[in-house]
Amino acid sequence: MNQSTCITDLTGAQIKELVLALGAPAYRAKQLQQWVYQKLAISFDEMTNLPAPFRAKLAEQTRLHSLIQVKELTDPDRTVKTLFTLADGQTIESALMAYPGSGGHARYTVCASTQVGCAIRCAFCATGQQGFERNLTAGEIIDQVLYFARRLRDTGDAVSNIVFMGMGEPMANYDNLWQAIEMLNSPDGFGLGARHMTISTAGVIPMIERLSREKLQVGLAISLHAADDDLRNQLVPLNRKYPLKELIPAVRAYFEATGRRPSFEYILFEGINDSLPQARALVHLVQDLNCHVNIIPANNTADSRFRPPNQDTLLAFEEELKRLRLNYTMRQPRGLHIDAGCGQLRSRFLKDRR
């Protein structure tokens, strides 16, 4: 272990090894984990039930965090968007979204990144335009959640959901993502139910199959955006590798293996995928899957080809879905005033720095 070892990069078993290597008894591992994941400690000094010499060794050889907050914007809709730097100087962004909940208590969803940049290069996505730098470690994924959990604790609130829908393709970083999910779910870790976590993917079929074999009930969302291969090839280049005729059966197989209802995201782009025949094609494609479709008007990015449709087009598209009895929700885009779309804050940061 060296000083660059971040506690949140360690699995439960590795934390035990660390504790033993530092000459402390095994039960200290659980206490350490409680400080990190439940009491959300920001320093080893706080861990007052650990002996001071042990704390000193921990502080010498490890660190507690991997993220430094560099910028934060709050939208009038209460969406918070945060830009972080990582130990190697790379930057990522995460978001916190508040939704009305029962009993006056808001529910909070963390939108976490899984990679620095993204290799999929979806035409409409700000992160896609940045190219790919590297995978995030498990600790870098976890720390985004802990950061917002700490913020919320100050007002007596808590993280209720995590969606892996920030920068990057989660399924292209499966091992680290899964390590993070296990710790976020573990009763000795962050303790959030797996059903409160959702992985969003552009459609990496082998990893959808892998997810369907996992015991944890983590949700799956597919970024669809087009119901025919020609258009989807253009919007989501990964479609050339994993076309709809293979993706849809893979999603069906996932449902049959897990009993968990998948969801689809369909972003509406003006003049691209917002016509009535396209609404019908969408319904036709997914209607016999036991699924839910989220329709989301696009967030504007620097690329002016991708705009949200006007209100009339939106309503007509929605009417058609209703008429055909699709199980869908029309979502409000969030954080429109703060460039909260995927990768937008980092794009601006990179541009300013040049």
CB atoms within 10 A of CB 76: 9
**Catalytic-role residue among 6, 93, 133, 291:** 93
Q: Does 117 bind ligand SAH (CB under 6 A)?
A: no
Do 220 and 263 form a contact (C-beta atoms < 8 A)? yes
Name residues whose C-beta falls within 8 Å of residue 151's C-beta, 6 or more positions apart in sequence.
80, 96
Site for ligand SAH in 161-190 (CB under 6 A): 165, 169-170
Do 158 and 188 form a contact (C-beta atoms < 8 A)? no
Cβ 286 to ligand SAH shortest distance, Å: 15
Site for ligand SAH in 248-267 (CB under 6 A): 265, 267
CA atoms within 13 A on the CB side of 88: 9
Q: Does 223 bind ligand SAH (CB under 6 A)?
A: yes
Q: Does 227 bind ligand SAH (CB under 6 A)?
A: no
Whether 93 sits among the annotated catalytic residues: the reply is: yes
How far apart are alpha carbons 204 and 223 in whole angstroms? 11
Amino acid at 42: I
How far apart are alpha carbons 145 and 39 in whole angstroms? 13
For ligand SAH, the closer of residues 122 and 146 by Cβ is 122
How far apart are alpha carbons 25 and 301 in whole angstroms? 53
Cβ 292 to ligand SAH shortest distance, Å: 14
> What residue spans of the chain are helical by DSSP H?
12-21, 27-37, 52-61, 126-130, 138-153, 174-185, 205-212, 229-235, 244-258, 276-286, 311-323, 344-353
For residue 332, give the 3-state DSSP assignment: coil
Considering only 200, 263, 278, 347, the residue that binds ligand SAH (CB under 6 A) is 200
Listed ranges 37-45, 51-59, 99-107, 197-205: which one lies at the site for ligand SAH (CB under 6 A): 197-205
For ligand SAH, the closer of residues 189 and 343 by Cβ is 343
For ligand SAH, the closer of residues 64 and 122 by Cβ is 122
Distance from chain centroid for Cα 135: 13
328 phi/psi in degrees, rounded to 5: -140, 165
For ligand SAH, the closer of residues 160 and 201 by Cβ is 201
Whether 342 sits among the annotated catalytic residues: the reply is: yes
How far apart are alpha carbons 119 and 97 in whole angstroms? 26
Considering only 301, 328, 338, 340, the residue that binds ligand SAH (CB under 6 A) is 301
For ligand SAH, the closer of residues 50 and 220 by Cβ is 220
Considering only 80, 97, 110, 125, the residue that binds ligand SAH (CB under 6 A) is 125
Q: Does 298 bind ligand SAH (CB under 6 A)?
A: yes
Q: Does 18 bind ligand SAH (CB under 6 A)?
A: no
Q: Does 239 bind ligand SAH (CB under 6 A)?
A: no
Q: Does 326 bind ligand SAH (CB under 6 A)?
A: no
Q: Does 272 bind ligand SAH (CB under 6 A)?
A: no
Question: Which positions are catalytic?
Answer: 93, 342
Residues lying near ligand SAH in the complex (CB under 6 A) are found at: 120, 122, 124-125, 165, 169-170, 200-202, 223, 265, 267, 296, 298-299, 301, 306, 341-342
